[in-house]
Structure 1
């Protein structure tokens, strides 16, 4: 199975972060994901299943340059 997400992706989550931003950058992938809020730079670790359920769409792929 090909991985859908890679480091550097900008994703939009379904729920707002308390700072008001929905945009996050993926900074680590694997069994757990680390994502960084683009509004306040807060970082969060999530299990893969929870992360995949909470993503609404990929705004920018980390592979694009």
Structure 2
């Protein structure tokens, strides 16, 4: 793979990372709002939290691809 192609791939990953971080933040706000309201459906909260966790895992995977661990 040439350098230009690799750089383009990294830029695509960075954009995807920003989108996922935005979704994660939005879910965090939604979960907080439902918890504060006190009338939240527990099943809905559980589903939102599970989705938030999946997003966090995906974010971690992308960050690892962009900046892999370097063993010194």
Higher strand fraction (1 or 2): 1
- TM-score, normalisation: structure 1: 0.25
Q: Calculate the TM-score normalised by the size of structure 2.
A: 0.24
Instruction: Name the structure where helix makes up a greater proportion of residues.
Output: 2
